[in-house]
Structure 1
Amino acid sequence: MRLLPGPTAPTAPATGPVFPCVRLTLDDGPERLYLLDDPHDCPAAMARGAVYDPYVHLAYLLIRQGHDVRRLARFTGLPLSVVHRVAEAAALTRP
């Protein structure tokens, strides 16, 4: 086994970088892949067909800060089931 000197940067998988996204069905239509991060930070995800919704993004940020799921559903106007899916995705992306 050979040790590398100093810290190394993680390598991206062969398919490209992974962006925090979740499949959701909002009241405006079919199930789509929604970007959870800022679209300016993940332009490649947008190019791959992810959709940005500011309320989904807001719910993601506030859930990561520890806010209550039910309260966020009322605050954002998103269905409770959608906010639960965002919370599940946020739990997977925590460092």
Structure 2
Amino acid sequence: MRFLPHLTKLTAPARRHHHITDNGPGPNATGHICPRVRLALYDGTERDYLLDVPSTCPHPQGPHARYEPRVHLAYVLARQGHGAHWLARFTDLPLPAAERITEAITLAVHA
């Protein structure tokens, strides 16, 4: 997808700010776990992927957390109401991964 690098730049925050769940006095809150989802992308191995941009999370490099711009883009678009099938086509993610991302949005809204 030619436009994907440009779209991920548009969804990234312009400046660094603290994560919404950061209750500590600084950017290093204790006990914080950045929003993530367990996905199997193209190699078939399940891994934890960050849903937020690493710059907004106090501990983005937590244990085994990866950042994939397409996962973040799908997360942002799912929060805007796009369905899993559309997300899979638009972001070039496997359909099961897109479905998990939309499920994560649903669980976060009802939590």
State the TM-score, normalized to the length of structure 1: 0.76
User: Is the CA contact 1:20–1:93 (under 8 Å) kept in the aligned structure 2?
Assistant: no
**Are the counterparts in 1 of residues 33 and 59 from structure 2 also a CA contact under 8 Å?**
no
Report the equivalent of 1:4: none
RMSD between aligned alpha carbons?
Answer: 2.2
* 1:30-45 pair list within 5 angstroms: 30-45=45-60
Specify the alignment match of 2:95 in structure 1.
Answer: 80
Structure 2 spans left out of the alignment, 5+ residues: 1-21, 25-29
* Structure 1: runs of 5+ lacking an equivalent: 1-9
Which of 27, 33, 36 pairs up with 1:21?
Answer: 36
Number of residue pairs matched by the alignment: 84
Work out the CA distance in 1 between the residues paired with 2:48 and 2:59.
13
What TM-score, normalized to structure 2? 0.66
Q: Percent identity?
A: 51
